[in-house]
Amino acid sequence: MERFKDKVVVITGGGKGIGKACADRFASEGARVALLDIVLADAEAASQSIGTDRSMAVYCNIADHQCMHDSIQQVVDKWGRVDVLVANAGIYRGFPLAEDHLKDWQLVMDVDLTGTYLSCHAVAPIMMAQKSGSIVVMSSIAGKTSWPDSAAYSAAKTGNIGMVRSVAQELGPYNVNCNAVCLGHADTEMLRSVDARICQENGWEPGTYLKELTDSNPMRRLGTVEETAALIAFLASDEARYINGQAIEIDGGRIMS
Ligand SMILES: NC(=O)c1ccc[n+]([C@@H]2O[C@H](COP(=O)([O-])OP(=O)(O)OC[C@H]3O[C@@H](n4cnc5c(N)ncnc54)[C@H](O)[C@@H]3O)[C@@H](O)[C@H]2O)c1
């Protein structure tokens, strides 16, 4: 399949995890991919593995308005357009409500909510001028349900879904669709760090929380980054042009909301 032949795809958080899997998937389907990441070395390594003729690594902190704008400008200077944005970069911080974690709350809001807004904001005028484009935002099942210690993450990921609905209506008339992906659990560094924290707090063996997530999932396994990248690529493809403003779960059937 070459659904993205010569299209320009921007992926935030493209240096590892789901973002890197997206970069590999879009590149394998003919796209030129820009990997924006706060850890430039990871973005560079991911770009090297794809091939620097078809990819570029850009330092970007999505929570920084000017930095986000400059990063997109670098892509446009090099390739002249942006066809797809995968607003994927995000962080997780878990903390009990009764403890004082205002800094963690603010960080999650800055990155997961404001950063995702700034990512969409930066590409909007470009896609509107092109009269074409596609935006896929990485939300989470935490945007549709929640669990203890996740007030900040859930609030931000629910906010992502609300934002997507507004963006979908605003950019739809310009032939730009916008959807959210609500992932359950995929085996990445982020999920392993959540496991490490929860297991340490409870005095469990490392991996116990991951095993519990696996055993309680209807499909008895975690998701893979490749499965998530496949859904994101579908949503960004011409096959999904009429899907707009949706928040689609990929979670093995965990929440079925
Ligand atoms: N892994 C899961 O199970 C899971 C579940 C639901 C949702 N998600 C969401 O998927 C997205 C990717 O998660 P992942 O598991 O691949 O995480 P990860 O930690 O493995 O990778 C995240 C990437 O984003 C980058 N990043 C972090 N903050 C950034 C910033 N301010 N600016 C630019 N880049 C930044 C990191 O450097 C890293 O390369 C996140 O939005 C996350 O909330 C993940």
For atom 36 of ligand 1, the residue with the nearest CA is 13
* Element at 125 (helix H, strand E): helix 116-130
Q: Is there a contact between 132 and 83 (Cβ–Cβ < 8 Å)?
A: yes
For atom 7 of ligand 1, the residue with the nearest CA is 140
Choose the catalytic residue: 92, 153, 174, 242: 153
Query: 160: which residues sit within 8 A by CB, 6+ positions away?
Result: 112, 113, 116, 137, 138, 139, 143, 180
Q: Is 36 helix (H, G, I), strand (E, B) or coil?
A: strand
Provide the pLDDT for residue 67: 98
Per-run averaged pLDDT (10 residues), the chain, 257 residues: 95 98 98 98 98 97 98 98 98 97 98 98 98 98 97 98 98 98 97 96 96 98 98 98 98 96
Closest CA to 201 of 213, 210, 189, 209: 209
Give CA–CA dist 212/175, Å, rounded: 43
Q: Is the dihedral of CA 146, 149, 152, 157 positive or negative?
A: negative
Ligand 1 pocket, 252 CB below 6 A?
Answer: no
Q: What count of other Cβ atoms lies within 10 Å of the Cβ of residue 109? A: 17
Phi, psi of 56 (to 5 degrees): -140, 145
Task: Give the Å distance between the CA of 1 and the centre of ligand 1.
Answer: 27
Task: Give the Å distance between the CA of 240 and the centre of ligand 1.
Answer: 24
- The pick from 36, 188, 251 for probing ligand 1's pocket by mutation, whose C-beta has the most ligand atoms within 8 angstroms, reads 188
Task: Give the Å distance between the CA of 19 and the centre of ligand 1.
Answer: 7
Q: Is there a contact between 11 and 86 (Cβ–Cβ < 8 Å)?
A: yes
Let me know if 153 is a catalytic residue: yes
Rg (CA), the chain: 18
**Whole-model pTM over 0.95:** yes
Provide the pLDDT for residue 1: 81
Provide the pLDDT for residue 223: 98
Domains of the chain: 8-184+224-249 (3.40.50.720), 187-222 (no CATH)
HSE at residue 32, side-chain half, CA atoms within 13 A, is 15
Task: Give the Å distance between the CA of 71 and the centre of ligand 1.
Answer: 18
Ligand 1 pocket, 231 CB below 6 A?
Answer: no
Q: From the CA of 112, give the closest atom in ligand 1.
A: 41
